[in-house]
Structure 1
């Protein structure tokens, strides 16, 4: 295969991986928005009459969304590592368009280390704490 063909294939592969990274980053943003929306709806519901509501009803969905956010961030980071590995290879190396689980698992960070990142808990924990505080300060809390 000639060098221009190899370069074109490399660019095509990198574009595919970049598209996946963009979709995963978008999913992460959607998870953040959904988290705020659901917790806001729960706070509004908690203010209703004859409603028995407890603090854990904010914490549980908040933690679930935090775990989803960590999962999408873990996948995004894995594909960024895959992208960087492919971009660093010499142009003479043949490009394989197969993206299988083995390739992704080889470059994937541990879930718990992703969950411990400031990106995750720096957003979700203050948000959950804010909703819990708003609930406690409300007349029904």
Structure 2
């Protein structure tokens, strides 16, 4: 091997292409997650703005539905990304047998459970904060209605 070469001779061109395919999927999933967060902020902002100007709690309560929906959808994207990262790790290791060009992430489902992804720091920090703000609008609306 020449001193200028940084490639591993045991990795074939097909394996490199396989890794590139997986990395492209991970990148698309990450982009999808970013877009979902943008839509979440937009929709939540609309509900928060309307709730701030209306004394009722019903609109604020309705705002919790898209927050929960986007939380689940984004969790799906994050889980898929983590599953493909596990596949990537196995494909890059010569000792782990993975069928060439396989995109099967089924073997990793037990390692990356839904419950763990939904409660991850990323999800809880972003969507939990929005849910708390929404809850404050709901409670504020209930108090305003009770006062009369």
**Could you state the TM-score of these two structures normalised by the residue count of structure 2?**
0.74
Out of 108, 113, 117, the residue aligned to residue 110 of structure 1 is 113
Unpaired runs of 5+ residues, structure 1, are: none
- For residues 47 and 115 of structure 1, the distance between their equivalents in structure 2, rounded to whole angstroms, comes to 29
Give the aligned CA root-mean-square deviation in angstroms: 3.0
Hey, what does 2:79 align to over in structure 1?
A: 74
Q: Aligned pair 1:98/2:102, yes or no? A: yes
How far apart are residue 4 of structure 1 and its match?
6.3
Moved more, 10-19 or 40-49: 40-49
Q: Please say if 1:21 is aligned against 2:26.
A: yes
Do the aligned residues in 2 keep the contact of 1:6 with 1:94 (CA within 8 Å)? no
The residue number in structure 1 matching 2:15 is 10
Larger radius of gyration: 2
1:41 matched to 2:46? The reply is: yes
Task: Give the drift of 1:86.
Answer: 0.1
Aligned length: 133
Post-superposition offset of 1:59: 1.4
